[in-house]
Amino acid sequence: MNVRVNFYSYFKELTGCGRTEESLPEGGTLHDLYLRLIGRFPKLGAMEKSTLMAVGVDYQPRTHVLKDGDEVSLFPPVQGG
Amino acid sequence: MHGMKQQLTITKEAIDEAALLGGRAMSGGAGAAVYFAGVVRGTEDGAAIAAIEYEAFEKMAERQFGLLFDEMEKRWPVESVRLVHRVGMVKVNQASLWVEVVAPHRAEAFAACQWLIDELKRVVPIWKKPVAG
């Protein structure tokens, strides 16, 4: 399956892109996707503990099972206000 | 269905506080209107700045604000909430955030307003980047 991935804030600088795509085996989780992404973008790995992840417009735990066509977003802690 | 009125605006335009205050609506049962303006400071981590550039993941921000409003309605008898958040460049001394909570009494209005701002800083996907002077 294929998922789309968006990066926000300084994660765009760390990865050098605002968005990308990734292929995963069926049943792959958000954590599986994350491991592939830090393989491609090693600078992201240093931010692991503070990385927030969403599928669509909702936060999801790393155990969340992805499906084909999902839109995943990765970003650092939020700073609104 | 919402008993509590909700109004959310995410905008590149300056926040017009006078217009917002002029647009206030309160029922006869409401005795407290608490509002807060978050204003860009002239320094960030000790260094002078000219502005802060705000970036939002807008669709998710709308969703997360909606969840917070729903939770606020469960916790306090709030009659209405209005919230405006700027995106893009916000100069020093300009408001980046404006929130108003209307409720029957001040204790719940203050508590709900404080909680909403604390939570938005925890979950709503908006980020800032200081812009040097």
The CATH number assigned to the domain holding B13 equals 3.90.1170.40
Residues of A with CB under 8 A from a CB of B: 6, 8-10, 52, 54, 56-59, 73, 75-76, 78-81
Helices B58-75 and B106-123 cross at an angle (nearest 10°) of 150
Phi, psi (degrees; rounded to nearest 5) at A9: 55, -140
The whole-number pLDDT of residue B11 equals 98
The whole-number pLDDT of residue B115 equals 98
Neighbouring-strand partners of residue B73: none
Mean pLDDT, rounded, of chain A: 97
pLDDT in tens, B103-127: 999 999 999 999 999 999 999 999 9
Is residue A37 within 8 A of residue A74, CB to CB? The reply is yes
Residue A32 scores a pLDDT above 60 = yes
CA separation for the pair A43, B115 (Å, rounded):
34
State the pLDDT confidence band at B133, using cuts at 50, 70 and 90.
confident
CA separation for the pair B49, B19 (Å, rounded):
28
Six-digit token pair at A81?
Answer: 């206000």
Interface test with A, best of B44, B52, B60 (most A CBs within 10 A): B60
Q: What is the DSSP string of A8-46?
A: -TTHHHHHT-SEEEEE--TT-BHHHHHHHHHHH-HHHHT
pLDDT in tens, A53-70: 999 999 999 999 999 999
The whole-number pLDDT of residue B65 equals 98
Q: Where are the domains of chain A?
A: 2-64+71-75
Helix (H) or strand (E) holding A3: strand A2-7
Mean pLDDT, rounded, of chain B: 97
Give the residue-averaged pLDDT of B48-57.
98
Residues of B with CB under 8 A from a CB of A: 38, 54-57, 59-64, 85, 96-97, 117, 120-129
> Hey, what amino acid is at B74?
K
The whole-number pLDDT of residue A60 equals 98
State the pLDDT confidence band at B2, using cuts at 50, 70 and 90.
low
CA dihedral B123, A76, B85, B44 (to 10 degrees): 120
Give the residue-averaged pLDDT of B40-53.
96
Residue A28 scores a pLDDT above 60 = yes
Six-digit token pair at B122?
Answer: 């925890």
Q: Indicate the DSSP class of residue B15.
A: P
Give the residue-averaged pLDDT of B62-74.
98
Cβ-defined contact of B127 to A54 (cutoff 8 Å): no
CA nearest A79 in B: which residue? Answer: B127
- ipTM of the assembly? 0.96
CA nearest B118 in A: which residue? Answer: A81
Q: What is the pTM of this model?
A: 0.96
Total domains, chain B: 1
| Least Cα separation, residue A36 to chain B (angstroms) | 23
Tell me, rounded to whole angstroms, the distance of Cα B19 from its chain centroid: 15
Residue B1 scores a pLDDT above 70 = no
Q: Indicate the CATH number for domain A2-64+71-75.
A: 3.10.20.30
